[in-house]
Amino acid sequence: MKQIALEAVDLAKSYVADGVQTHVLGNINLKIYKGDFTSVMGPSGSGKSTLLYCLSGMDKPTAGDMLFCEKSIVRMKEQELANLRAQHFGFVFQAANLVSNLTLFENIAVPGYLKEGRTPKKTLEAVENLIERMGLHDVANHLPNQSSGGQQQRCAVARAVVNQPDIVFADEPTGALNRANSLEVLALLSEINATGQTIVMVTHDIRSAMRGNRILYLEDGDVRGEFNLPPWDAQRSNDISYTRDREAQANAWLSSLSW
Ligand SMILES: Nc1ncnc2c1ncn2[C@@H]1O[C@H](COP(=O)(O)OP(=O)(O)OP(=O)(O)O)[C@@H](O)[C@H]1O
Ligand SMILES: [Mg+2]
Cα distance between residue 22 and residue 216, in whole Å: 22
Kindly state the average pLDDT of the residues 26-38: 97
d(CA 251, CA 259): 9
Q: Each residue of 176-215: pLDDT tens digit?
A: 888 888 998 999 999 999 999 999 999 999 999 999 999 9
Ligand showing the shortest atom-to-Cα distance for residue 43 = 1
**Pick among 3.40.50.2020, 3.40.50.300, 1.10.1740.10, 3.40.50.720: CATH of 36-52+78-256:** 3.40.50.300
Distances (CA, A) of 129 to 119, 136, 170: 15, 10, 20
- 175: confidence class by pLDDT, cuts 50, 70, 90: confident
Give Cα 45 distance to the centre of its chain.
18
Neighbours of 137 (CB within 10 A): 11
pLDDT at 226 over 70: yes
- Ligand 1 atom closest to residue 172's alpha carbon, by position in its atom list: 27
| 8 CA to centre of ligand 1 in angstroms | 19
Please report the beta strands in the chain, taking only residues with DSSP state E, as ranges in sequence order: 4-17, 20-33, 37-41, 63-68, 71-72, 89-92, 167-171, 198-202, 214-219, 222-228
Query: For ligand 1, atom 6, which residue shows the shortest CA distance?
Result: 15
Question: Residues with beta carbon inside 6 Å of ligand 1?
Answer: 15, 17, 22, 24, 42, 44-50, 94
Percent of the chain with pLDDT over 70: 100
Q: Atom of ligand 1 at shortest distance to CA of 50?
A: 18
Give the whole-number percent of the chain exceeding pLDDT 90. Answer: 89
Q: At what angle do helices 120-133 and 149-161 cross, to 10 degrees?
A: 140
Distance, CA 2 to ligand 1 centroid (Å)?
31
Q: Which residues contact 70 (CB under 8 A, 6 or more apart)?
A: none
Element (DSSP H or E) covering residue 154: helix 149-161
The pLDDT-based confidence of 124 (bands split at 50, 70, 90) is very high
Residue 1 banded pLDDT, cuts 50, 70, 90 = confident
For position 259, what pLDDT does the model report?
A: 65
Distance 46 CA to ligand 1 centre (A): 7
Residue pair 28/220 in contact (Cβ under 8 Å)? The answer is: no
3-class state of residue 40 by DSSP? strand
Straight-line distance from the first to the last Cα atom of the chain, in angstroms, rounded to the nearest whole number: 31
Distance 243 CA to ligand 2 centre (A): 26
What is the rounded distance in angstroms from the CA atom of residue 221 to the CA atom of residue 24?
Answer: 5
Exposed, middle or buried, 75 (CB in 10 Å: 0-12/13-18/19+)? Answer: exposed
Separation between Cα atoms, residue 87 and residue 26, nearest integer Å: 29
- Is the distance from CB of 214 to CB of 36 less than 8 angstroms? yes
The sheet carrying 167-171 orders its strands as 89-92, 167-171, 198-202, 37-41, 214-219, 222-228
**What average pLDDT does the segment 46-71 reach?**
95
Specify the length of the chain in residues: 259
In the predicted structure, residue 173 carries a pLDDT above the cut 80: yes
61-116: per-residue pLDDT in tens?
Answer: 999 999 999 899 999 999 999 999 999 999 998 888 999 999 999 999 999 999 99
